[in-house]
Amino acid sequence: MYDQDEDIQYDEDDDEITPDLWQEACWIVISSYFDEKGLVRQQLDSFDEFIQMSVQRIVEDAPPIDLQAEAQHTSGEVEEPPRYLLKFEQIYLSKPTHWERDGAPSPMMPNEARLRNLTYSAPLYVDITKTIIKDGEEQQQTQHQKTFIGKIPIMLRSTYCLLSGLTDRDLCELNECPLDPGGYFIINGSEKVLIAQEKMATNTVYVFAKKDSKYAYTGECRSCLENSSRPTSTIWVSMMARGGQVVLVSILMGKNQK
């Protein structure tokens, strides 16, 4: 006699995923991820986000530089010195460039930086607004476009690297290994890598159970403005182990915060 219940039970058991199959499926997913992203994709994406977004935010969050000139006594009378306000605005980053002794600029390839003990970096420019303030006079503003302020080391194979987007043939012609994933810097001819550090996520509440302490629980939250370079502010909330109605609050403010 045909037993339908037994047949259904057999099909369910047959479709069950065993631990070995789960393990095999996990490795398939992991292998597919690294085949697509590589081993240093997180480093490259982090550097690109820093150059394209974070540097500009840092400049915008920085207050104007206030310079006070000293009083001059050349005419025998004390003159009120002017004040200068310097405000940094839009930034610009060029491709990696090296200036020879004659002042002629030329593109700098990573292998050239290795052989000549140079730093593989790109020049950084910024628009500056200078305001001159004198007592009894109207303020004078002057715009300085694309003023050179320094260099930023460039991570190999990032968006701003000269090797980005080149074919294997082009890389071989530049004495670069096509299998090199990048994700590092060249400083004074030496290859340097940044070691990632773990830290607690901001704007998240963490609650810790305390043992052998006068507090039963402690809650912590590190608050930070999104898309900002300002430091974090931390708040702790602790509950007493005895007489749990008492809650202690401690607030640690970041620098330049009130």
Choose the weakest-confidence range: 37-41, 111-115, 174-178, 246-250.
246-250
Q: What pLDDT does 15 receive? A: 63
The answer to whether 161 and 96 are in contact (CB under 8 A) is yes
**What residues form DSSP beta bridges with 129?**
87, 143
The strand pairing partners of 124, in sequence order, are: 93, 150
Helices and strands (DSSP H and E) totals, the chain: 6, 12
pLDDT given for residue 135 in this prediction:
81
Which pLDDT score, from 0 to 100, does residue 78 have? Answer: 61
Q: Is the dihedral of CA 148, 153, 158, 162 positive or negative?
A: positive
Query: What is 117-151 written as a DSSP string?
Result: T---EEEEEEEEEEEEE-TTS--EEEEEEEEEEEE
Predicted pLDDT at 73: 64
What is the C-alpha separation between 105 and 148, in angstroms, rounded?
Answer: 14
Distance, CA of 163 to CA of 151 (rounded, Å): 19
Is pLDDT at 1 greater than 60 in this prediction? no
Predicted structure pTM score: 0.72
Written in H, E and C, the secondary structure of 149-204 is EEEEECCCCCCCCCCCCCCHHHHHHCCCCCCCCCCCEEECCEEECCCCCCCCCCCC
What value does the CA radius of gyration of the chain take, rounded to a whole number of Å?
Answer: 30
pLDDT at 7 over 60: no
Label residue 185 exposed, middle or buried (CB < 10 Å: 0-12, 13-18, 19+). Answer: buried
Beta-carbon neighbour count of residue 166 at 10 Å? 16
Residues in the chain: 258
- Whether the predicted pLDDT of 13 surpasses 60: no
Q: Which amino acid is at 214?
A: K
Model confidence at 199, in pLDDT bands (50, 70, 90)? confident
Q: Is 21 helix (H, G, I), strand (E, B) or coil?
A: helix
pLDDT exceeds 80 at position 195: yes
Q: Strand 185-187 vs strand 190-192: parallel, antiparallel, or unpaired? A: antiparallel
Q: How confident is the model at residue 253 (pLDDT cuts 50, 70, 90)?
A: low
**Which of 121, 129, 75 has its CA nearest to residue 97?**
121
